[in-house]
Structure 1
Amino acid sequence: MGERDLVGRAREVPLQRWPDGSLVAVNVVVNVEEGAEAAWPDGEGNDSWGEYALPIDPSIRDLGTEGHYEFGSRVGIWRLVRLVERFGVPVTFGVCARALERNPPFAAWLRDSDHDVLGHGYRWAEVTQMSEDEEREDLEHAMRVLPELVGRPVRGWYVRSFPSVRTRRLAAAHPDLSYDSDSVNDELPYWTDVDGAPWLVVPYSKVHNDTRYFLPPTYATPRHFTETLTGAAAFLLDEARHGAGARLMTVGLHPRWSGQAARAAAVRDFLAWVAGQPEVTLVHRQQVADWWTEHVPPGARPSSSTY
């Protein structure tokens, strides 16, 4: 990971439709990080991703930000679970293993569900600030804990914020992992090479993501998030109908943010919109990886040359 590719597949269309017949596949990723962030009780200081941006002296415990994360774990995750159950949609839960260890009721619910689980580290920490040994140990620790907690294999991996130059190599070296979602350089999956072997990348999105409530340009109201998501999905659908082929849209949510009542309304309204679109399907991430591996294997010719 480190060599740049500024061309990608250019105008090639690798897949006309998804195997289920849809034109647009939407993958909702719920990031479960609460309890895995840096916090004083763990001897790790304060985390900066709270509900507000007040300058807190690092030598002083930030109870406000800790409470914000606790809201996500205590309340927000269950609000999102209720929406998932209400609409009957498959969802990917990007899980930090320590967060799941500290929320046994949610861990039990996830274990009893058939939702997808994406590895998101043991701790929710910046891997670019770790040594290679530290990053490897965090990955391996998570991959020991997560399958035991959720009762099924974990095949995908992504880290907090952005990967290090070694992240993909470390993920590809783990025998249970088959893809990563650390890139934001495309919308569709693609194959790359890691140490001479093909490796699947299923890109993530920092744009169709509720972090935009806090990162400029911010959403002034949850309605703006709904409009962003429905506008993107509608555009992808129009693009596919005009020859661009199967499209993929990733939506990133966080219990501490989208689990707040007003913001959860944005998620509800987007799921309701998708439910009314017969050529748009909701999928989990492993399903996308499996479809791509089967229908667009490494070296496959595009289904049509250009659009």
Structure 2
Amino acid sequence: MLRSHGRYDYSGITERADYAWPGGARLAVYLGINLEHFAFGEGLGAELAPGGPQPDVLNFAWRDWGNRVGAWRLIELLDDLRLPASMLVNSAMYAYAPSLMARIRSRGDEIVGHGRTNSERQSVLSEAEERALIAEATATIAAAEGAPPRGWLSPWIAESHATPDLLAEAGYRYTLNWCMDDQPIWMRTRNGKLLSIPYPQEANDIPSIVARKDGAAQFADIIVDSFDEMLSQSQRQPLVMGIALHPYIVGQPHRLRHLRRALAHIAGHRGTVYITTAGAIYDHIVSLPKGIVPGSEAP
């Protein structure tokens, strides 16, 4: 037998119980916008160009442009199209860019925990150290927002074997770390369960633009084509489409122009699809009868 994570059992998407999203919609769409702060001269970070010896000013400044310019332009676009968002926030952002976080708060966007900084991975930490990282990030967000976040995305989607257990024990209700499905499913933890909400690795600007070197128009086409195909598929099963964005990438003017086209296409289906947040998806799932969602028999 191959080693298994033991978090969920196999379930083919065409073999499951049917349900609908609020308003009878069949496709739920949410935007996951990553707000990240990086250490200067050390640690991890996406690269515009191959990094040289530290301090790597080129790549640090390119990423920092996202917080100083790109995020503000992206918020303007969301306002123009009347789109909500799930903001995936490094807790270091509260000290670094308080006015940006205040602007997001004024929009009423959902805040999702995204570690302390994307300069580090929690997967290399001991269980005690990882527990402390989750607690520190959660406390910072709760102090600023008046309530702790309910969802989590690990920096670099890096998990230890204990991460789902630690998240559930810290009070988290859902995780965006696992990209194995197009529907939410329940995952087992050592003291209960955690909902896995689909988070994209294809309609995601990091693997698309940074890794595969897709162009701005190509990335926008990925979003539009994924949406159109999933809208058709959702007539057979209710689906979730996430779109993952980083302001230092898609906030760049030439990419923002194409992103505007893609998001306007989705907004044009507002009466047909459920345009929402990851947290609202969680709320709907827990309102369904037990047994409808795969894994809901988990303890």
TM-score, normalised to structure 2's length? 0.90
Structure 1 distance, partners of 2:176, 2:234, is 23
Structure 2 distance, partners of 1:96, 1:174, is 17
Task: Pick from 144, 152, 160 the counterpart of residue 155 of structure 2.
Answer: 160
Task: Pick from 291, 298, 301 the counterpart of residue 284 of structure 2.
Answer: 291
Task: Pick from 45, 52, 60 the counterpart of residue 49 of structure 2.
Answer: 52
Structure 2 distance, partners of 1:196, 1:134, is 19
Structure 2 distance, partners of 1:276, 1:203, is 23
Aligned residue for 1:198, secondary structure, equals strand
Q: CA deviation at 1:6?
A: 6.7
Q: CA deviation at 1:3?
A: 2.8
What is residue 265 of structure 1 aligned with on the other side? 257
Task: Pick from 154, 169, 172 the counterpart of residue 173 of structure 1.
Answer: 169
Q: CA deviation at 1:272?
A: 0.8
Structure 1: gaps spanning 5 or more residues = 303-307
Structure 2 distance, partners of 1:301, 1:136, is 29
Task: Pick from 170, 180, 188 the counterpart of residue 185 of structure 1.
Answer: 180
Whether the 8 Å CA contact 2:186–2:293 is kept in 1: the answer is no
Percent of paired sites with the same residue: 24
Structure 1 distance, partners of 2:104, 2:7, is 37
Show the 5 A alignment for 1:80-229: 80-124=74-118, 125-162=120-157, 163-175=159-171, 177-211=172-206, 212-216=208-212, 218-219=213-214, 221-229=215-223
What is residue 282 of structure 1 aligned with on the other side? 275
Structure 2 distance, partners of 1:189, 1:236, is 15
Q: Do the aligned partners of residues 268 and 8 (structure 1) sit closer, same or farther apart at CA in structure 2, a change above 3 Å counting?
A: same
State the number of aligned residues: 287
Whether the 8 Å CA contact 1:46–1:61 is kept in 2: the answer is no
Whether the 8 Å CA contact 2:117–2:155 is kept in 1: the answer is no
Aligned residue for 1:26, secondary structure, equals strand
Whether the 8 Å CA contact 1:22–1:280 is kept in 2: the answer is yes
Whether the 8 Å CA contact 2:8–2:187 is kept in 1: the answer is no
TM-score, normalised to structure 1's length? 0.87
Structure 2 distance, partners of 1:53, 1:144, is 35
Aligned residue for 1:11, secondary structure, equals helix
Structure 1 distance, partners of 2:272, 2:147, is 30
Structure 1 distance, partners of 2:179, 2:287, is 23
Q: CA deviation at 1:281?
A: 2.8
Structure 2 distance, partners of 1:18, 1:272, is 21
Whether the 8 Å CA contact 2:18–2:292 is kept in 1: the answer is no
Structure 2 distance, partners of 1:10, 1:22, is 18
Structure 1 distance, partners of 2:289, 2:70, is 37
Letter in 1 for 2:40: A
Structure 1 distance, partners of 2:103, 2:293, is 41
Structure 2 distance, partners of 1:39, 1:20, is 47
Structure 2 distance, partners of 1:262, 1:105, is 25
Structure 2 distance, partners of 1:115, 1:192, is 26
Whether the 8 Å CA contact 2:29–2:242 is kept in 1: the answer is yes
Letter in 2 for 1:94: L
Q: CA deviation at 1:122?
A: 1.4
Structure 1 distance, partners of 2:20, 2:60, is 44
Structure 2: gaps spanning 5 or more residues = 295-299
Q: CA deviation at 1:301?
A: 7.2
Aligned residue for 1:234, secondary structure, equals helix
Q: Do the aligned partners of residues 134 and 151 (structure 1) sit closer, same or farther apart at CA in structure 2, a change above 3 Å counting?
A: same
Letter in 1 for 2:222: T
Structure 2 distance, partners of 1:99, 1:3, is 34
Q: Do the aligned partners of residues 111 and 199 (structure 1) sit closer, same or farther apart at CA in structure 2, a change above 3 Å counting?
A: same
Whether the 8 Å CA contact 2:168–2:193 is kept in 1: the answer is no
Structure 2 distance, partners of 1:300, 1:17, is 11
Structure 1 distance, partners of 2:18, 2:84, is 22
Letter in 2 for 1:117: I
What is residue 3 of structure 1 aligned with on the other side? 6
Structure 2 distance, partners of 1:101, 1:139, is 17
Report Cα offsets for 1:217-254 as digits up to 9, x if no partner.
x31x211111111111111111123xx22111010000
What is residue 35 of structure 2 aligned with on the other side? 32
Letter in 2 for 1:249: M
Structure 1 distance, partners of 2:205, 2:130, is 26
Q: CA deviation at 1:4?
A: 6.6
